[in-house]
Structure 1
Amino acid sequence: MREMRDNPGAIEKYRSAMGRVYNYFPHVRRGTHYVRALDQKTGETLYRRHFYGGVAGDLRAARMMRELKPQYPSARWEYGKVQGLPEDVYDHAIPVDAMEQVINAAVARTGADDKAQGALRTLLHQSVSDVLKTRGWMRHAIKRKDVPGFETEDIERILWEHKSGLYGWLSKMDAARGFIDALYEIDATSQPRLYGYAARYVQDMLRNSDRVDQLVQDVKSLMFLKYLAGNLKTAR
């Protein structure tokens, strides 16, 4: 971001790379549970906030809904757990060509006219794409409505996670090509154990980190600070 101030064209290039979204800023929601306000008539989401549940999750949800009710007096409130697909679904995903055939077969069975089938096919493609994007940084490419309730504090952390996630996603794309070339060089018939180890290693390197991985990373950082940065002997 500091480099952008010294480069007049960098900001325009960054905006265009975000899918033609003017002045894009990442909207982030963190937590395992959610509260949301729904329009009584249309069912449209008016407000949604995420938070970490835990033992006092019910009490926190009740307090949030009570505090927010004056802003949405006629809304219907919901409280639940954030649902997502398990990592296994992504690691062993249906091939794209097979997914295309499944969508086409499902649309054809509706018996609708060609125009309606085309609209439904487009909708299904977009929905499947959005589900796959939710796994990692590409969730920022999902076209969503500007629903209130996203994080508005700790802006530095939001920007840091957004930019580091982008660079991680780009480097992961490059690494995936290299991993494929490396696996191609291993003969699974003559070296099954080596191939199995290499395949598992590739899966571990390319998968998204979960909350356990993030916790371990934080612990490693604390240990590093304690035994290196906090060691007085390092100053000599």
Structure 2
Amino acid sequence: MNGDNHLFVWTADEIARGEIPAEHARELTEVLRWSQDFLVSPHPDLGRGGPVCPYTQPSLRRDLFYIAVPRDPRADLSKTVARLRSWHERLSTGLDEEERELLAVLIVLPGLDYTDSTELDLLQRKAKDDFVANGLMIGQFHPVCDEPGLWNPSFRPLRAPVPLLAVRRMLVFDLLFLVGDLGHADSYLRRFAPAIPARVRHQLVTRLVSTDSREALSA
């Protein structure tokens, strides 16, 4: 187990071996089982081939899949979530490029309402600007999350048994998740297309966040 004043952090293997305190065992085990079953498997409603999350299985296999819980559930959750960025950076130390792309850190938030995702959605939106600006993706998962699938809008890929947030490195394939926001799209292009002049990059970003950008990019 790792940890600091804000978080306890375990690897998936530690959770699988039961090396976790009893008060967190149910949520951590449930999230790990969901990750090993749902995320790594194909789904008939996904809208594309392959597993729901292509990165989970290799992340689990390389022992780069971490699950955290707040040390103090009464603490300011926005500050606790902000620590995830520091933890991702800390756990990335010494990893090669491929391993950094597979590193995932989830924070389980069992104190949130299981029937209403509003508070979790707000936490994710408040944190996303900072995470994306630092080259990270942060996604929210909740038992009643209504976020539609990218390839099938009727599919709900972000539904999990427990409210949680997941953090991983931003990848070149993430553009479609970022085109709706001017700052996020600009962060993406600065990271993956640094040679593009600022004026041209601004023009591209403006087009990316236009109303029909998702349809244009997926056509």
Normalising TM by the smaller chain, what interval? under 0.3
Q: Give the structure with the larger strand fraction.
A: 2
TM-score, with normalisation over the residues of structure 2?
Answer: 0.19
TM-score normalised to the size of structure 1?
0.18
Which of the two has greater helix per residue?
Answer: 1
